[in-house]
Amino acid sequence: MLSLYCLLFFDLTLMFNMATFNSFSRILCLALASAATSSMAAANSKPTPCLDQFYQETAPQLQRESLKKDTTALCLNGFNAMHSGVSKTSFWVAEYLTPERLSIKIKREDSFHEEELVQGARATLKDYRGSGYDRGHMVPNADMPTKAAQHDSFSLANMVPQTPQNNQQVWRELEEGVRALVTKQQQDLYVITGPEYSGKNIKRLGNGLLVPTATYKAIYAPKSGVIGSYYVSNDMNELKPQVELLSICALEEKIGINLFPTLKDSEKRKIYNLPLKASNVKANQAISLNTTDTKSKCAASVAQKDIRATQQLFKPSDSYEGTMAEVLAKIEAQPQEQQTTEPKAVELQKQPTEPKPVEPQPQSIDLFKIILAILLGSLGYLVSKFLKK
């Protein structure tokens, strides 16, 4: 509608041979139209269900052909995963951490269960029994802000067979360090976690559950630019597994997955001094850059059509609570609703009712009215000039 008014206005100024005024009007109209469009876009933009767990709503891309067989995209509460029917684990699990999300603490309630959303081959509880391996969380239970999200975090689709010395010590400390980056330094973090399978003699548990040779955790903080990954051996013979800090490119080369398809290779080559435990993170001390990896081969770029195709795989399940922004908004509203008790309600009825404050209209609508008024006023001015001739 605004574009039609602008076009009509331009034609009239040309008709009346008002070149100077026409040039000015073009600049004014286009500038105001651009501002209105930006304002409307900002007002209408909101996270896409499921995709809000990914940086720029773009999921990791499996690039090695052997990884693409029998996969299932899972949109669960608090995280997403790409499950493999071959390994019977997920190749990657993605979560978006914010200070608001991690400020919510809920009591841990274990509920390990087989993932019903996986229709093909999947891990069972029986696979782990008597194996000596832990059911190791990829996305930690402590990152979950609701009971539904906590329940989903105990899905075997979020587990891999992890050595006790990895899971209960080294891995736990890394998880705490990652959370400290968010809570102590008040920044958002995109995290992708998963297993790596390398070598010809990969160990199997139960009915074919593969044991990872290593586990990884890749992180990216858009605000500070901190980026890099943890890589931890999953060898039962290692009493204290060593943590290796890798660039995203080096990790992608190992696992055959483009973890952050929208990031430039120049960013993926950076390796920051990531914390190995929470005590390594200081609120007023930035994480420093360690080095830049110039040797590793970064994952191949991903075509837009492939990005869109992968996005469409992630569909909310019946138990999906909503985007993390929606979930946190509901949680924030709960205490206010629970504060109202019956005696207080009676007491409030005796008090005079105050008029409700008028909600301000969105800025985009007011801006549109201003633009329309300017155009109509200018149009009236032109018509009056024409009639005087």
Task: Give tens-digit pLDDT for 246-281.
Answer: 999 999 999 999 999 999 999 999 999 999 999 999
- Residue 335 pLDDT grade (very low, low, confident, very high; cuts 50, 70, 90): low
Q: How far apart are CA 352 and CA 354, in angstroms?
A: 6
Domain ranges of the chain: 1-45, 51-333
- Nearest Cα residue to 67 out of 42, 48, 92, 50: 92
Tokens of 373: 């008024």
For residue 311, count CB atoms less than 10 angstroms from its CB and return exposed for 0-12, middle for 13-18, buried for 19 or more. Answer: middle
Residue 95 has pLDDT above 70, yes or no: yes
Give me the residue label for tokens 């990657």: 92
DSSP state of 113: B
In single-letter form, the type of residue at position 330 comes to K
Residues marked as catalytic: 137
Contacts of 301 (CB under 8 A, 6+ apart): 258, 261
How far CA 161 is from CA of 82, 123, 134, 224, 233, in Å, comes to: 17, 10, 6, 33, 12
Classified as helix, coil or strand, 85 is: coil
* Average pLDDT rounded to a whole number, residues 95-114: 97
- Nearest Cα residue to 299 out of 58, 72, 138, 81: 58
Residue 349 has pLDDT above 90, yes or no: no
* Average pLDDT rounded to a whole number, residues 65-74: 96
CATH architecture, domain defined by 51-333: 3-Layer(aba) Sandwich (3.40)
For residue 149, count CB atoms less than 10 angstroms from its CB and return exposed for 0-12, middle for 13-18, buried for 19 or more. Answer: buried
Task: Give tens-digit pLDDT for 15-60.
Answer: 545 554 455 455 545 544 454 444 444 444 689 999 999 999 999 9
User: What is the CA 79 to chain-centroid distance, rounded?
Assistant: 8
Residues facing residue 205 across a β-bridge: 209
Residue 5 has pLDDT above 90, yes or no: no
Rounded to the nearest integer, the mean pLDDT of the chain is: 85
209-210 and 214-220 as β-strands: parallel, antiparallel, unpaired? unpaired
189-196 and 90-97 as β-strands: parallel, antiparallel, unpaired? antiparallel
DSSP state of 124: -
**Side-chain half-sphere of 2: how many Cα atoms within 13 Å?**
22
Residue 230: CB atoms within 10 Å: 25
Q: Are 235 and 282 in contact (CB under 8 A)?
A: no
Q: Are 91 and 257 in contact (CB under 8 A)?
A: yes
Ramachandran region, residue 123 (left: φ > 0; alpha: ψ -120 to 50; beta: rest): beta
Give me the residue label for tokens 């019977």: 88
User: What is the CA 276 to chain-centroid distance, rounded?
Assistant: 23
* Average pLDDT rounded to a whole number, residues 91-116: 97
User: What is the CA 125 to chain-centroid distance, rounded?
Assistant: 29
- Residue 334 pLDDT grade (very low, low, confident, very high; cuts 50, 70, 90): confident
Q: How far apart are CA 217 and CA 242, in angstroms?
A: 14
Residue 226: CB atoms within 10 Å: 22
